């Protein structure tokens, strides 16, 4: 977090994370104060950056590359990725922080990109499903999803893949219960959860050694 | 049936082998481009202004403020003042702008005045003694066949029983044929009794009343009778990729449409008439679909309007993907179905009698009646069904339309009856398996095989699980069929 964003109310800066309070402040002020571009304003005892309301230059670091565009401050990170940068792996499904199809990593943490403004994602390290791997160099989690048919229509799959990658960062050898809990923020309409659990277990077991196609152990059908 | 011996498991090429999905790498890496993801040069974002009232008449539409907004490039009315709207979320105005924010602002700037009318949205049990239903409207027949995929035989019997409210002249029949209405239904329409539409304002319409055998006598002879109310509410398809399309006029005569659909080959034919160009001039494209579940067979009004907006905007691509809330309101629902059921049997489990009074709603058209009793043709039965016209978005097909509801109602009632008989429901079903008709032997073999594979006899226990703690387990059973188009399983 850079200095000009630091809260000046004496609270400890929360590195790598937008607090709910900051988010509300930014949203509330941007909607009511007619300013062009970013500037600092005192609100609720803190200095917060204010943008807009018209289009402002926004720069995002996504998958190690810097993307720039002129977008309105009300645009979500999800819509900026999809509409301005054509990174359409993250999907718009519920658009209200419920289903997880828009999950991306912000400074390594899984975030619903539909519920974060693009302006608030600046100066952070964003990783989308595209950044994990491509069709010819699949990430072990992507590989495991393919191997275990953890997808049907596939619309929720990118969100699940990103959430699983984040889960395995926190729990390299998760128990089935940890998998269920770690992925409970993602919904699948086709009902591929059994495959998703098996994929998470396979990816956990093969994160160092590449997986053997088709060799799936421990993907027990607990509710099939 | 032809005898066929499967090769030994190790020699089979496909069955039992792990096969990875061909589009797997694209989907897991986020590279698969769904219709929602497609962007074309110069693409405009479309939005639809929807009626917030469940029943209303449009009094005035004023789009002048929206027209003045910079970035708005096309506006198209989807209804006109004076027209009635029958469910919340129905379309009034569509517009297209350079970006989504501008389109949203423009949609908010559209002023619509409504006369709010009384609405009805309950599918609680109807009052008794609903009179026999009035004649069918053309829209109901189209909905049943094209949207809800009600089997032709069921539609024919409704036409024969209820008549129609419109004159089925040759021109009308040709149009229906072109729309995909099958010949037996057209034939029934030719012979149908024509009477003016019903004048009553009641939302209830009795659509099926039938008696077979001697139900009163059979209930009197029954040693065990079970009664209950069973059913399922309206549910929505909720495809993760909402419905939507993007159209562009590649030249003044040709349209390219990207669409999220289960019926790609049918799309040009559906768009031709409203756009006034031959189907051959319309190219429909889709690389992946984010779920359909029966709700994505049509181009829909919002798909057509993308092409109309595109034309007004000089051919630029116009994309409309429904917002989640709109998708839930207008893009598909499965009809509800409930029934009060009474079933009777002899002590040895011989099934004798069935009586059901059903009801449910599939939107303003009422919806179809589930085929009760399902699969098991009880020898003596009396049944009726009341369709309820609700001010909600129309029903769409969902996995064997009306069958899951019929299965739920019938099989729950039969489970309850076997519990009253203190019988294992599998033994009860096998005892009565001849009532399933020509496929009785297949059902019996399937049930026995399934029981063996799942160790039914060891796992099944009578109702009531004495295991301590809140988690209780039990086994139940159900059998199914599909009498729709596509294969020859329709009854006799």
- The model's pLDDT over B154-175, given as tens digits with 9 standing for 90+, comes to 889 888 888 888 888 998 898 8
- A161, A186 Cβ separation under 8 angstroms: no
- B216 or A3, higher pLDDT: B216
Give SS3 for B307.
helix
Please compute the mean of the pLDDT values over residues B438-455 and round it to a whole number.
95
- Largest Cα–Cα distance in chain B? 78
- A211, A194 Cβ separation under 8 angstroms: no
Cβ-nearest to B30 among A95, A158, A214 = A158
Chain-wide mean pLDDT for chain B? 92
Give SS3 for B285.
strand
Q: What is the DSSP letter of A76?
A: B
- pLDDT value of residue B154: 82
Helix H, strand E, coil C: the string for B92-139 is: EEEEEECCHHHHHHHHHHCEEEEEECCCCCCCCCCCCCCCECCCECHH
User: Residue B86's CB: how many other CB atoms inside 10 A?
Assistant: 20
Within B131-223, strands assigned E span: 204-212
The domain spanning residue B244 has which CATH number? Answer: 3.90.1170.50
Q: What is the DSSP letter of A56?
A: E
> Tokens in use for B14?
């496909």
- Total domains in chain B come to 1
Please compute the mean of the pLDDT values over residues A146-153 and round it to a whole number.
95
Is B190 among the domain residues?
no
Give SS3 for B346.
coil
Residue B144 has pLDDT above 80, yes or no: no
Q: What is the DSSP letter of A210?
A: P
Distance from CA of A88 to the nearest CA of B (A): 6
Residue B110 has pLDDT above 90, yes or no: yes
Give SS3 for A103.
strand
- The model's pLDDT over B21-52, given as tens digits with 9 standing for 90+, comes to 999 999 999 999 999 999 999 999 999 999 99
Residue B324 has pLDDT above 60, yes or no: yes
Query: Please, which pLDDT band fits residue A138 given cuts at 50, 70 and 90?
Result: very high
Query: Please, which pLDDT band fits residue B359 given cuts at 50, 70 and 90?
Result: very high
The Cα B426–Cα B477 span in angstroms is 7
- Give the residue on B whose Cα is nearest the Cα of A94: B324
The Cα A166–Cα A172 span in angstroms is 10
Residue A28 CA, distance from chain mean position:
23
Please compute the mean of the pLDDT values over residues A119-147 and round it to a whole number.
97
- The model's pLDDT over B193-208, given as tens digits with 9 standing for 90+, comes to 888 765 556 888 877 7
Is B289 among the domain residues?
yes
> Tokens in use for B149?
């995929």
- A56, A26 Cβ separation under 8 angstroms: no
Residue A157 has pLDDT above 80, yes or no: yes
- A86, A109 Cβ separation under 8 angstroms: no
- Identify the bridge partners of residue A70 per DSSP, sorted by sequence position: A57
The Cα B355–Cα B383 span in angstroms is 6
The Cα B187–Cα B403 span in angstroms is 26
- The model's pLDDT over A41-71, given as tens digits with 9 standing for 90+, comes to 888 888 888 888 889 999 999 999 999 999 9
Contact B20 A213 (CB under 8 A): yes
Contact B239 A95 (CB under 8 A): no
Residue B323 has pLDDT above 60, yes or no: yes
- pLDDT value of residue B376: 96
Q: What is the DSSP letter of B482?
A: -
The Cα B36–Cα B30 span in angstroms is 13
CA distances from B72 to A83, B161, B205, B297 (A): 18, 52, 45, 30
Please compute the mean of the pLDDT values over residues A156-172 and round it to a whole number.
97
Question: A119: which chain B residues are within 8 Å (Cβ-Cβ)?
Answer: none
Is B158 among the domain residues?
no
Distance from CA of B189 to the nearest CA of A (A): 39
Is B375 among the domain residues?
no
Angle B115-B120-B122 from CA coordinates, rounded to 5°: 155
What is the b/e burial string over B326-336, where b = at least 16 CB atoms within 10 angstroms of the residue's CB?
A: bbbbbbbbbbb
Give SS3 for B361.
coil
What torsion do the CA atoms of A50, A52, A58, A60 make, to the nearest 10 degrees?
A: 50
What torsion do the CA atoms of A189, A192, A196, A199 make, to the nearest 10 degrees?
A: -140
The Cα B21–Cα A148 span in angstroms is 10
pLDDT > 90 fraction of chain A, expressed in percent and rounded: 67
Is B221 among the domain residues?
no
Tell me the domains of chain A and their CATH numbers.
3-131 (3.10.20.30), 133-205 (1.10.150.120)
Is B262 among the domain residues?
yes
Residue B309 has pLDDT above 90, yes or no: yes
Is B229 among the domain residues?
no
- pLDDT value of residue B399: 87
Instruction: Report strand pairing: B111-116 vs B318-321.
Output: unpaired
Say if residue A53 is preceded by a cis peptide, omega within 30 of 0. Answer: yes
Instruction: Single out the residue of B159, B137, B161 nearest to residue B86, CA to CA.
Output: B137
- B367 or A69, higher pLDDT: A69
Residue B286 has pLDDT above 60, yes or no: yes
- pLDDT value of residue A166: 97
User: Residue A70's CB: how many other CB atoms inside 10 A?
Assistant: 10
> Tokens in use for B230?
């069973």
- Preferred mutation among A30, A132, A135, A192 to probe B, highest tally of B CBs within 10 A: A135
The Cα B243–Cα B328 span in angstroms is 10
Cβ-nearest to B100 among A79, A143, A213 = A79
Contact A189 B239 (CB under 8 A): yes
Please compute the mean of the pLDDT values over residues B407-436 and round it to a whole number.
97
Instruction: Single out the residue of A18, A124, A140, A4 nearest to residue A62, CA to CA.
Output: A124
**A176 exposed, middle or buried (CB, 10 Å; 0-12, 13-18, 19+)?**
middle
- The model's pLDDT over B463-472, given as tens digits with 9 standing for 90+, comes to 988 899 999 9
Please compute the mean of the pLDDT values over residues B413-442 and round it to a whole number.
96
Residue B8 has pLDDT above 70, yes or no: yes
List CB contacts of B276: < 8 A, sequence separation 6 or more: none
- B416, B342 Cβ separation under 8 angstroms: no
Is B426 among the domain residues?
no
- A119, A58 Cβ separation under 8 angstroms: yes
List CB contacts of A156: < 8 A, sequence separation 6 or more: A91, A93, A99, A100, A101, A186, A187, A188, A189, A190, A192, B240
Q: What is the DSSP letter of B198?
A: P
Chain-wide mean pLDDT for chain A? 82
Contact A158 B28 (CB under 8 A): yes
Among A135-149, A205-219, B91-105, B204-218, the range scoring the smallest mean pLDDT is A205-219
Contact A157 B28 (CB under 8 A): yes
Give SS3 for B477.
coil
Question: B23: which chain A residues are within 8 Å (Cβ-Cβ)?
Answer: 154
Give SS3 for B439.
helix
- A34 or B131, higher pLDDT: B131
Please name the residue that has the structure tokens 């040693």.
B223
Cβ-nearest to B291 among A145, A149, A189 = A189
- Give the residue on A whose Cα is nearest the Cα of B24: A146
Contact B241 A88 (CB under 8 A): no
Please name the residue that has the structure tokens 């943008």.
A51
Cβ-nearest to B238 among A75, A157, A189 = A189
Task: State the Rg of chain A over Cα.
Answer: 19
Domain housing B291:
35-119+238-330
Residue A215 has pLDDT above 60, yes or no: no
- pLDDT value of residue A28: 43
Residue A26 has pLDDT above 60, yes or no: no
List CB contacts of B22: < 8 A, sequence separation 6 or more: none
Q: How many CA atoms, within 13 angstroms, populate the side-chain half-sphere of residue B245? A: 32
H/E run at residue A58:
strand A56-62
């Amino acid at each position: 977090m850079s200095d000009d964003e630091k809260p000046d109310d004496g609270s400890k800066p929360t590195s790598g994370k937008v607090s709910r309070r900051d988010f509300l402040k930014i949203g509330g002020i941007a909607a009511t104060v007619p300013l062009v571009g970013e500037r600092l304003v005192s609100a609720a005892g803190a200095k917060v950056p204010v943008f807009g309301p018209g289009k402002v230059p926004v720069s995002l670091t996504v998958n190690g590359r810097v993307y720039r565009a002129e977008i309105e401050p009300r645009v979500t990170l999800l819509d900026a990725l999809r509409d301005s940068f054509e990174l359409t792996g993250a999907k718009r499904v519920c658009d209200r922080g419920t289903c997880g199809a828009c999950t991306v990593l912000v400074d390594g943490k899984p975030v619903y990109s539909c519920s974060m403004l693009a302006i608030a994602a600046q100066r952070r390290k964003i990783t989308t499903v595209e950044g994990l791997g491509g069709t010819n160099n699949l990430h072990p989690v992507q590989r495991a999803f393919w191997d275990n048919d953890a997808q049907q229509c596939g619309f929720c799959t990118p969100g699940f893949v990103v959430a699983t990658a984040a889960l395995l960062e926190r729990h390299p050898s998760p128990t089935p219960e940890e998998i269920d809990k770690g992925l409970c923020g993602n919904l699948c309409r086709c009902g591929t959860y059994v495959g998703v659990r098996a994929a998470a277990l396979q990816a956990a077991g093969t994160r160092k050694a590449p997986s053997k196609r088709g060799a799936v152990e421990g993907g027990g059908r607990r509710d099939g | 049936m032809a005898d066929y011996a499967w090769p030994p498991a190790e020699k089979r090429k496909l069955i039992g082998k792990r096969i990875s999905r061909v589009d797997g790498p694209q989907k897991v890496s986020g590279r698969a481009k769904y219709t929602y993801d497609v962007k074309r040069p110069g693409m405009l974002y479309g939005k639809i202004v929807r009626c917030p009232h469940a029943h209303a008449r449009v009094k005035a539409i004023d789009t002048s403020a929206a027209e003045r907004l910079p970035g708005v490039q096309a506006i198209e009315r989807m209804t006109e003042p004076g027209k009635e709207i029958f469910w919340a979320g129905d379309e009034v105005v569509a517009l297209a702008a350079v970006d989504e924010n501008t389109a949203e602002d423009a949609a908010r700037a559209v002023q619509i005045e409504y006369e709010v009318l009384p609405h009805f949205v309950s599918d609680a049990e109807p009052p008794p003694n609903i009179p026999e239903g009035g004649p069918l409207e053309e829209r109901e027949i189209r909905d049943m066949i094209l949207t809800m995929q009600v089997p032709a035989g069921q539609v024919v019997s409704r036409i024969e029983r209820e008549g129609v409210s419109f004159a089925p002249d040759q021109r009308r029949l040709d149009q229906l044929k072109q729309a995909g209405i099958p010949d037996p239904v057209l034939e029934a329409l030719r012979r149908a009794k024509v009477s003016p539409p019903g004048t009553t304002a009641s939302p209830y319409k009795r659509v099926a009343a039938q008696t077979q055998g001697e139900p009163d006598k059979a209930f009197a002879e029954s040693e065990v009778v079970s009664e209950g109310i069973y059913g399922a509410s309206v549910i929505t398809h909720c495809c993760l990729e909402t419905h939507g399309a993007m159209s562009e006029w590649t030249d003044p005569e040709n349209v390219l449409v990207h669409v999220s659909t289960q019926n790609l080959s049918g799309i040009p034919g559906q768009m031709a008439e409203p756009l006034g160009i031959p189907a051959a001039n319309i190219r429909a494209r889709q690389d992946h679909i984010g779920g359909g579940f029966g709700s994505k067979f049509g181009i829909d009004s919002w798909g057509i309007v993308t092409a109309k907006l595109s034309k007004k905007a000089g051919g630029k691509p116009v994309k409309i993907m429904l917002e989640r809330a709109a998708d839930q309101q207008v893009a598909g629902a499965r009809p509800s179905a409930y029934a009060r059921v009474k079933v009777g049997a002899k002590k040895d489990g011989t099934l004798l009698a069935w009586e059901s009074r059903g009801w449910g709603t599939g939107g303003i058209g009422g919806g179809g009646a589930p085929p009760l009793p399902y699969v098991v043709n009880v020898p003596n039965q009396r049944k009726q069904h009341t369709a309820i016209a609700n001010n909600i978005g129309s029903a769409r097909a969902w996995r064997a339309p009306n069958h899951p509801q019929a299965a739920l109602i019938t099989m729950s009632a039969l489970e309850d009856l076997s519990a009253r008989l203190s019988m294992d429901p599998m033994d009860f079903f096998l005892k009565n398996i001849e009532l399933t008709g020509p496929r009785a032997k297949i059902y019996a073999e399937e049930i026995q095989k399934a029981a063996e594979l799942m160790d039914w006899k060891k796992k099944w226990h009578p109702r009531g699980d004495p295991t301590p703690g809140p988690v209780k387990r039990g086994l139940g059973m159900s059998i199914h069929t599909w009498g729709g188009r596509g294969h020859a399983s329709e009854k006799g």
